[in-house]
Amino acid sequence: MMYENIEGLSPEDEKELSILENQITELFTLLEKREIQLSQLKDENAELRARIQNLQQQLSQPQQQLNPPQQQLSPPQHANQQINTIRVPNQQISLATSPSNSHSTYKRKCPKCGAMGFAIKEVDDKTRLISYVPVRIYAKKRVCTKCRYEF
């Protein structure tokens, strides 16, 4: 027991005291585990920041090579490293066809909830001004009246 000098406690109080002591030790072990996790996450964060800085330097190197300052060009330092590129899948791209005369095609459709037709309204986008003269003309944006998504 933590408190050896406490005398005259009823058995119920002693039982409750032992339960509380067990909870305290469990909380201390959890605290130690969390501190270990925190230190591991801090280390990982530092590694990732260093990696980001390294990648930013690698990105800036090709830009410097495009505009060299009247010196001899040297081979890139990252030639042995594997460079990740975006690969486009080999798919047949369908050509645009004329719209069919059926009524199943709609011009307006919400990309978020899929609402169509009159649920979509066009409003002026006051952040994009097109013209001042003769009157102010704003670009249009579409707003879904069901989910309030703007696109």
Q: Which pair of tokens denotes residue 120?
A: 């979509």
Residue 131 pairs with which residues in a beta bridge?
137
Please count the CA atoms within 13 angstroms of the CA of 93 that sit on its side-chain side: 5
| pLDDT, tens digit, 9 for 90 and up, residues 45-99 | 999 999 998 888 888 876 666 555 555 555 555 545 555 666 656 656 555 555 5
Judged against a pLDDT cut of 50, whether residue 1 lies above it is answered with no
Q: Domain limits of the chain?
A: 9-65, 108-151
d(CA 141, CA 51): 40
How many other C-beta atoms are found inside a 10 Å radius of the C-beta of residue 144? 21
Assessment of whether the complete model's pTM goes beyond 0.85:
no
Residue type at 46 in one-letter notation: A
User: 92 or 35: which carries more pLDDT confidence?
Assistant: 35
CB atoms closer than 10 angstroms to residue 108 = 15
Question: How far apart, in whole angstroms, are the C-alpha atoms of residue 27 and residue 35?
Answer: 12
**If you search the block for the tokens 């005398």, which residue do you land on?**
7
User: What does the pLDDT look like over 96-118, one tens digit per residue?
Assistant: 555 555 555 547 889 999 998 88
